[in-house]
Structure 1
Amino acid sequence: MGRRGKKKGRPVSGWVVLDKPVGMGSTEAVAKVKWLFNADKAGHAGTLDPLASGMLPIALGEATKTVPYVMDGTKIYRFTVAWGEERNTDDLEGVPTQTSDQRPTRDQVEALLPNYLGVISQVPPAFSAIKIAGERAYDLARGGEAIEIPAREVEIDRLEIVSHSNGATELEVECGKGTYVRSLARDLGRDLGCFGHIATLRRLIVDPFTQDDFVTVEELQEARPAIGDEETAPDFSALDDYLVETAAALDCLPQVALTDDAAARVRLGNPVIVRGRDAPVEADEACATARGKLVAIGSVEAGQFKPKRVFTA
């Protein structure tokens, strides 16, 4: 029987709230951060196109178990729509498909924005990761195939003008999961009768993280220790200081504080009695911590916390 391969990387856990630069893809960013931290496992919470910059939350180690909760978080984007031209990718990368000499006034754009608030129906871009009959839409689109992507409901809480000129409008949007800002620019242009596409796009917020959590690739590179063949293990402490606690991703859930003894029981998969004046009585999902460290996600039923997913770090 062959020997089992040694697991690669450190068992480091937490969130890296990366300020992704323009030109770097999300997969490339995850690979870069995973290498910098020498982490054994990594994933991201919400793709950013290479032409977009801003917040890309990257989960390391045990934090990958909390990715769905960050994916569901509210997002804030700041973007510029260039008027007069619609493109097949709905951004600067594509080729023009429709043009117009018309340019909207600020008042015309402002008057249209209330139509995009609340729950709206939106067709994702043809160049997107949406799956059509098992194939990615962008693969079909690049192959020249005409595709129809069904509309879906998305939620927009806020849409405001930041600045306006004759040829472009800068806007800020606060929206829910699954919203495509490129589709928003495309649809605004069509409704205004002048067409439009995304010229710049920056994600400012992915709830629960804020811009105070931002870290750049350059900062991470500077903090990474030199790794050689020396006998002493490299010191990653300066780099690990940039990590946000895994539990931060679960601020949206009811919180259950455990004693060390209760935490030990929960880590073995056992239910424990919930104590404390502020403890939830019933909850379909709750987050259990001990000494500020994440222990488990579970439910609270009949005064007991019942673990469903346990965390080791």
Structure 2
Amino acid sequence: MCKNDIHGIFLLDKPTGISSNKILQKVKKIFCAKKAGYIGTLDPLATGLLPICFGESTKFSEQLTHSKKCYYTIAKFGEATSTYDTEGIVLNSRKVKFSTRQLYEALRKLQKQTVQIAPIYSAIKYQGRPLYRYARKNIVTPKITRNIKIYKLHCVTYNYQFITLKITCSHGTYIRRLVHDLGKLLTCGAHVISLRRLQVSDYKITNAITLKKLHTIIKKYPLYIYRSILLKLLIPTQTTFLQLPEVICSDYHAIHDIKNRIFFLNNNTPQIFRITIQNDNSIFIIGKIDRIGKLILCKVLKM
């Protein structure tokens, strides 16, 4: 099968029961794309927004990966599991006997959390191998911590044994770990039974397409039509960075003067910004100024 040079971002509504990598390979095959990668791993149990970058868009995947994310999760109190979700075995069961006041105090503590210990069943690597491989063989590894930020932690519903939470957090935050820590604070244990990602950066689940919808398009239309339909589903890469400060240059050769212009326009030096060449939409550039004032062109995308 031929593979095409496709560029842009596809918003997939990932189904449950499949890994992020396997769903990526399925979508990549449907689009007949040469190069593709996903943003932010979702566990097989999880559903929701999984942005997939094609072609030149993969150059900018790091910026999306490190952006804010929003999740909707349902957790069960009274049981702690080995994987912190329903995929694992139950390690202990306890009675749920905390008060509503204690629950909200625990949630407030979690929202202030800035460091999180990664679950032993996770894809974070230790000595070149994912932690879950060690865990499956009962090999103990050092605890790996991550700096995180919880922007919002909202209790949507609570009825004794089950709680629904909406969480906006930074890159690197494990919702499973957050729920597990909540269970520990309330001394009854807890684990995730449902997890759905609602947003990555400015991209929302309401604009995502399901795998079922993609298959429907393939079955309904002939090859030359459904491929053109699929291409229309792609979002231009530069939309990811429209919220960044913009500096406009008269031509490509004028970029060396950017540093002084940024300082003058913003009265400070932004960590990252977008560069637009006047009257030329064929080049999209992301730049930044390092600590010693040197201009770095992080990414250059030929449209």
* Shorter-chain TM-score tier: 0.7 to 0.9
Q: Indicate whether 1:253 and 2:247 are aligned.
A: no
Structure 1 unaligned blocks of 5 or more: 1-6, 228-232
Paired amino acid for 1:298: G
Taking structure 1 as reference, are residues 147 and 26 closer, same or farther at Cα in structure 2, changes over 3 Å only? same
**3-state SS in 2 of match to 1:271:** helix
**3-state SS in 1 of match to 2:64:** helix
Residue from 219, 231, 242 that aligns with 1:240: 231
Q: Judge which range, 115-124 or 169-178, deviates more.
A: 115-124
Deviation at 1:293, TM superposition (A): 6.0
Q: Indicate whether 1:286 and 2:273 are aligned.
A: yes
Paired amino acid for 1:251: L
1 or 2, which has the higher helix percentage? Answer: 2
Aligned residues: 292
Deviation at 1:161, TM superposition (A): 0.6
Partner of 2:168: 174
Work out the CA distance in 1 between the residues paired with 2:191 and 2:47.
Answer: 16
Partner of 2:115: 121
Deviation at 1:47, TM superposition (A): 0.0
State whether residues 79 and 93 of structure 2, in contact with CA within 8 Å, keep that contact through their aligned partners in structure 1: yes
C-alpha RMSD over aligned residues: 2.8
State whether residues 208 and 251 of structure 1, in contact with CA within 8 Å, keep that contact through their aligned partners in structure 2: no
Residue from 74, 86, 94 that aligns with 1:92: 86
Deviation at 1:312, TM superposition (A): 2.0
Partner of 2:284: 295
State whether residues 286 and 300 of structure 1, in contact with CA within 8 Å, keep that contact through their aligned partners in structure 2: no
Alignment of 1:132-281 (within 5 A): 132-224=126-218, 226-227=222-223, 236-257=227-248, 262=251, 265=252, 271=255
**3-state SS in 1 of match to 2:3:** coil
Work out the CA distance in 1 between the residues paired with 2:281 and 2:182.
Answer: 45
Post-superposition CA distance 1:1-51 (Å, at most 9, x none):
xxxxxx952111111111101112100121111111111100011000010
Post-superposition CA distance 1:168-216 (Å, at most 9, x none):
1111111001000000011100110100110111110111212342111
Deviation at 1:272, TM superposition (A): 6.4
Post-superposition CA distance 1:54-112 (Å, at most 9, x none):
01111001100010110111111111110111111000000011210224444332221
Work out the CA distance in 1 between the residues paired with 2:39 and 2:18.
Answer: 16
Deviation at 1:241, TM superposition (A): 1.4
Deviation at 1:280, TM superposition (A): 6.4
Superposition TM-score, scaled by structure 2 size: 0.86
Q: Among the aligned pairs, what percent are the same residue?
A: 30
Structure 2 unaligned blocks of 5 or more: none
Work out the CA distance in 2 between the residues paired with 1:279 and 1:195.
Answer: 52
Taking structure 1 as reference, are residues 154 and 297 closer, same or farther at Cα in structure 2, changes over 3 Å only? same
Work out the CA distance in 1 between the residues paired with 2:59 and 2:109.
Answer: 37
Partner of 1:64: 58
Q: Judge which range, 216-225 or 44-53, deviates more.
A: 216-225
Work out the CA distance in 2 between the residues paired with 1:279 and 1:58.
Answer: 34
Superposition TM-score, scaled by structure 1 size: 0.83
Work out the CA distance in 2 between the residues paired with 1:307 and 1:102.
Answer: 54
Work out the CA distance in 1 between the residues paired with 2:119 and 2:105.
Answer: 24
